[in-house]
Amino acid sequence: MMSKILKYVLLLAGLIVFGYPFVWMIIGSLKPELEISNLKLWSSMLTFNSYSQVFQKIPIGRAFLNSMFVSVSVTTLVVVLGSMVGYALAKLRFFGKSILYLLILFTMMIPFQITLIPQYVLMVKLGWTDTYLSLIIPSMMSGLSIILFRQFFLSVPQALIDAARIDGCSELHILFRLIWPLSKPVIITVAILTFMASWNDVLWPLIVVRDRSLMTMPQLVTIFVIGGEAESQLGSLLAAATLLALPVIIAYTFFQKYFIESMASSGIKG
Amino acid sequence: MRFAGNIGRRIKKSDRNGYLFVLPYVIYFLAFVAYPLVFSIILMFHRWNIVTPMEWIGLKNFVRMIHDPLFFKSVGNTLIFLLIHIPLQIIVALGFALLLNSKMKFRNLYRAVYFMPVVVSGVVVTILWQQLYSYDYGVLNSVFTSLGLPRIPWLVNASFAMPSIAIMATWKNVGIYIILFLVGLQNIPGELYEAANLDGATHVKQFFHVTLPILNPTIVAIVVLSTIGGFSLFIEPYVLTGGGPMQSTLSTMLYIYNQAFYFDHMGYAATLGIVFAMIIMAVVVVQRKVIESEI
């Protein structure tokens, strides 16, 4: 009995430790500036003052659209191109296939610390800094997603593909019309992993984008925090943080199961 | 000649679609993996600020690195971070996984809330913890003083700052590792515990002799994953402390970033990047060997 009580006490403590800061953030962003720094969640009045401050000081709406555009483009490219390479590796016969597979595994082991600076130099040489291209193209392929697709496609029965070939279907038709509908789990996994990584990345945008109107949302909020624009107004910091967190939290609430499964599976396979 | 002819025949017999499908990857690989790899090696031997022409300086970047106390301090800082972060993460994750590993009401709710910090941006987490850690007004110090404990100088004291960042990073990432441990725990056959019960093994003994050995692959995976993740520690000190106080939270990635994009020392930063990557790979290899044999 005692151990059961202890168990629930610990589980509840966990809820407070992991959940309370978010609740505090959202409510704090709606409180008047003077009331924020106390522990209480309840406030005498709610106001959108902090939010209007954020919208006045930084182009956060534009940054949201930038982030959306970049993350959706990257995710689409990774899913389409990654599934094509994964399909070729799993189901097509061509010379050099196993070498390519090993090459992909090898690239996954290279720490990004090596390629970060020369990739930036490449962006400068191509004239891509301060454009969407620098945010999208370097992330349009990912070794992990190719491996995940290959793994899944290996389990698709060969007879199905052979039958479609006899019917005269092209390989593109087979992949996108026949196999894609069967591959929802792996497509969702790759899409969530890619979208999250792209949406939350700050280091790369900080390096290649200096123009405020092209900044991604986490980047702009970072600049807002460390650049002194927030003028240590706690309310506007919390409002900016809430705006940044809210889209992800909403998506997470609806697709929670998929988020947890995807991110955990990347942990196991990665 | 015959070898080349052989390859030619095998290419001819190959499926053309195969090459078409992988072509985008090959182009991507050449542009964004192979070229940067080669170019970073070239950069190692040059001084370059990206604007003026590159200047060949031989091994001077290495010499400079060897005499750069700040680089070694940054590597040391990152190792301190890992030494606190990884054990803490494994203990907390395993603890919650054990608590969650049984039938109960609201199990999914607990799991979902514990996982929440994983999905939000590190920037959000950092802003939140900046407030929690505030010396005068922070929630943590308010709780401490109301319990009659002294205030803790979380981010303002050089010996507390890195541990504080390690605690914050644990809070952010532990959800993923709770799930990994849960998967591992559910793979343990119940018969093993029944057999251990028949032999009269206590719960503690069962944990150390049944549970832990079976979870070994999970622990190896977690250690390796969080090591690789921890070595790229950047945004947390960048936003929270700027590397201070007294360079105690200057992570290696932050130092390399400053060298490259603040001081425009491209050649030197590339050199540090390569050396740092070697350190990472060496640490991961050693870790794997040690943990796989120990537990």
Q: Model confidence over B69-80: pLDDT tens digits?
A: 999 999 999 999
Name the H helices within chain A.
2-30, 49-57, 60-91, 97-109, 112-126, 132-136, 143-154, 158-166, 171-173, 184-200, 203-208, 217-226, 234-254, 256-269
Q: Which of A18, A88, A146 sits opposite B117 (nearest CB)?
A: A18
Q: Rounded to the nearest 10 degrees, what angle do helices A234-254 and A217-226 cross at? A: 160
Q: Model confidence over B127-155: pLDDT tens digits?
A: 999 888 988 878 888 888 888 888 889 99
Q: Do B183 and A268 touch (CB under 8 A)?
A: yes
Domain A50-269, CATH number (from 3.30.10.20, 2.60.40.1080, 3.40.50.300, 1.10.3720.10): 1.10.3720.10
Q: Do A113 and B253 touch (CB under 8 A)?
A: yes
Write down the pLDDT at residue B165. Answer: 95
Write down the pLDDT at residue B7. Answer: 75
Q: Do B36 and A200 touch (CB under 8 A)?
A: no
Distance from CA of A163 to the nearest CA of B (A): 17
Bin B148: left if φ > 0, else alpha if -120 < ψ < 50, else beta.
Answer: left
Write down the pLDDT at residue A269. Answer: 43
> B36 with A118: CB under 8 angstroms?
yes
Q: Which residues of chain B have pLDDT under 70?
A: 1-5, 294-295
Q: Do A85 and B21 touch (CB under 8 A)?
A: yes
Of B264, B218, B255, the C-alpha closest to B234 is B255
Which one is predicted more confidently, B163 or A260? Answer: B163
Q: Do B119 and A221 touch (CB under 8 A)?
A: no
Strand ranges (E), chain B: 46-47, 55-56
Domain range summary for chain A, segments of one domain joined by +? 1-47, 50-269
Q: CA–CA distance from B80 to each of A253, B85, B251 (Å)?
A: 35, 8, 10
Is the confidence at residue A266, as pLDDT, over 70?
no
> B253 with B233: CB under 8 angstroms?
yes
Q: Do B37 and A114 touch (CB under 8 A)?
A: yes
Candidates A4, A5, A26, A94, partner chain B, best to mutate (most B CBs within 10 A): A94
* Distance between CA atoms of residues B19 and A88, nearest Å: 8
Instruction: Show residues of chain A in contact with B280, CB under 8 Å.
Output: 111, 113
The reported pTM is: 0.89
Q: Do B277 and A111 touch (CB under 8 A)?
A: yes
Residues 6 or more apart whose Cβ sits within 8 Å of residue A23 = A41
Residues 6 or more apart whose Cβ sits within 8 Å of residue B200 = none
Is the confidence at residue A169, as pLDDT, over 80?
yes
Instruction: Show residues of chain A in contact with B109, CB under 8 Å.
Output: 15
Candidates A78, A114, A142, partner chain B, best to mutate (most B CBs within 10 A): A114
* Distance between CA atoms of residues A258 and B141, nearest Å: 37
Q: Do B110 and A252 touch (CB under 8 A)?
A: no
Q: Three-state DSSP class for A23? A: helix
Write down the pLDDT at residue B204. Answer: 82
A232 band by pLDDT with thresholds 50, 70 and 90: low
DSSP notation for B99-113: HHSS--TTHHHHHHH
Write down the pLDDT at residue A102. Answer: 94
Mean pLDDT (whole number) for A29-41: 74
Write down the pLDDT at residue B73. Answer: 95
> A98 with A162: CB under 8 angstroms?
no
Q: Model confidence over A47-80: pLDDT tens digits?
A: 888 898 889 889 999 999 999 999 999 999 999 9
Mean pLDDT (whole number) for A92-105: 91
Complex prediction ipTM? 0.88
Element (DSSP H or E) covering residue B160: helix B158-186
Distance from CA of B195 to the nearest CA of A (A): 23
Mean pLDDT (whole number) for A132-138: 95
Write down the pLDDT at residue A270. Answer: 37
Element (DSSP H or E) covering residue B84: helix B69-100
> A267 with B221: CB under 8 angstroms?
yes
Distance from CA of B89 to the nearest CA of A (A): 14
